[in-house]
Amino acid sequence: MKWEKLERAAVDAELTKLAGWTLNDAASSISKTFKFSNFIEAFGFMTEAAITAEKLNHHPEWFNVYSKVEVTLNTHDAGGLTELDFKLAKAMEKAAARRMV
Ligand SMILES: C[C@H](O)[C@H](O)[C@H]1CNC2=NC(N)=NC(=O)C2=N1
């Protein structure tokens, strides 16, 4: 499926539904740093998010050190943010909430 790059107003509307996510340079990506109680919790979150990412065929850019996972999402095929980024962000929120960030 071809996903369209979202207009800035649509991006802002989606962002209001997500806690702790910030818009990056030129509104081309969104980021959040997730903090867990230890490495196993962080890695469990990454495993669950990876399964969702594979199902969506939409993959995060992320950086993990111990209990911290820094996530950046964008759709490189569309050159910006699409609905897919917000689908993955919402799935990540659920996976993180289950692990009591
Ligand atoms: C060929 C492959 O389906 C595409 O490159 C997919 C894979 N995963 C992807 N992930 C992300 N984040 N953005 C994309 O544009 C993207 N495209």
ipTM associated with this complex: 0.96
77 ligand 1 Cβ < 6 A: yes
16 ligand 1 Cβ < 6 A: no
29 ligand 1 Cβ < 6 A: no
Buried b (16+ CB within 10 A) or exposed e, 55-72: eeebebebebeebebebb
Q: What is the pLDDT of residues 71-96, one digit of tens each?
A: 999 999 999 999 999 999 999 999 99
Domains delineated in the chain? 8-98 (3.30.1360.20)
Reduced to 3 states, what is the DSSP secondary structure of residue 32? strand
76 ligand 1 Cβ < 6 A: yes
Return the pLDDT at 100: 75
Distance, CA of 20 to CA of 30 (rounded, Å): 10
**pLDDT averaged over every residue in the chain:** 96
CA-88 nearest atom, ligand 1: 12
